[in-house]
């Protein structure tokens, strides 16, 4: 009788322990440096294979036991794994994935004579080109002919050419960053689906150079928006024939 009571008590304590050690793991996922909540992070319990994602405020709740391993992953962030010590609310901090791009080197070009830079040819008329006037037979008739130019207009043209050059360099840099080879580390698209994503979401120069622009964050938000489009449309060539982003 005493043994039976002892076994009953032992079983009861075991059930209480098990009940206490299981439930929902809750918390919020943030970007590590900015403390911005991250939406759409994939969360999986490796022990039970239960799966969920964070909401628009980075909040989550997933069935878990003490001792389980829970993974957190996103295409724009480094994956993280949590060992569940208890089921109290927790904060997960995720780091942005790094991206290495080759720099563009611009070399100044100069016309040189030997080892000396050729100096400009000046004239008494402020560096303007002068030509002696001639008659119809080619004989000198006295006087000078001089080609005049607006220095302010020339300076404006140079500034415009410099700006166009900078914009072209930025466009080339954006094209490298938003190429299939670079984006494959951030989004799981291939073929026409990847092409459609690039066409729809490659940023303009103004967007790219704005102080708020963050490459990984921009790709992640673009990915979330793109995934709202049905799969058959995302993989269709007709999607980007509209020449505009589809409405949500």
More confident residue, 149 or 153: 153
Lowest mean pLDDT among 38-52, 139-153, 189-203: 139-153
Phi and psi at 103, nearest 5°, equal: -75, 160
**pLDDT mean over 136-157:** 60
The pLDDT of residue 167? 78
Domains of the chain: 23-94 (2.60.40.4130), 112-155 (no CATH), 170-242 (no CATH)
- CA-CA distances (angstroms) from residue 109 to 3, 50, 162? 97, 62, 15
pLDDT higher than 90, residue 43: yes
pLDDT higher than 80, residue 225: yes
CA torsion 58-31-35-40 (nearest 10°) is -20
∠ Cα 204 210 212 (to 5°): 120
Q: Considering only CA atoms, which of 227, 217, 211 is closest in space to residue 96?
A: 217
């Amino acid at each position: 009788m005493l043994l039976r009571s002892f076994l009953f008590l032992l079983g009861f304590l075991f059930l209480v322990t098990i009940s206490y050690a299981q439930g929902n793991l809750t918390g919020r996922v943030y970007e590590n440096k900015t403390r911005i909540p991250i939406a759409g992070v994939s969360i999986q319990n490796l022990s039970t294979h239960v799966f969920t994602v964070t909401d628009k405020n980075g909040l989550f709740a997933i069935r878990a036991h003490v001792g389980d391993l829970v993974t957190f992953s996103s295409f724009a962030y480094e994956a993280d794994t949590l060992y569940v010590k208890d089921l109290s609310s927790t904060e997960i901090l995720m780091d942005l994935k790094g991206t290495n791009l080759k720099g563009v080197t611009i070399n100044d070009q100069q016309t040189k004579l030997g080892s000396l830079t050729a100096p400009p040819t000046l004239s008494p008329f402020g560096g303007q080109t002068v030509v002696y006037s001639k008659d119809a037979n080619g004989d000198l008739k006295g006087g000078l002919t001089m080609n005049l130019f607006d220095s302010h207009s020339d300076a404006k043209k140079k500034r415009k050419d410099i700006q166009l050059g900078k914009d072209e360099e930025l466009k080339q840099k954006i094209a490298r960053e938003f190429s299939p080879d670079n984006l494959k580390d951030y989004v799981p698209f291939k073929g026409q689906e990847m092409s459609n994503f690039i066409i729809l979401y490659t940023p303009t120069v103004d967007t790219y150079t704005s102080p708020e622009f963050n490459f990984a964050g921009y790709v992640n938000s673009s990915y979330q928006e793109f995934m709202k489009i049905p799969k058959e449309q995302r993989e269709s060539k007709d999607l980007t024939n509209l020449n505009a982003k589809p409405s949500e």
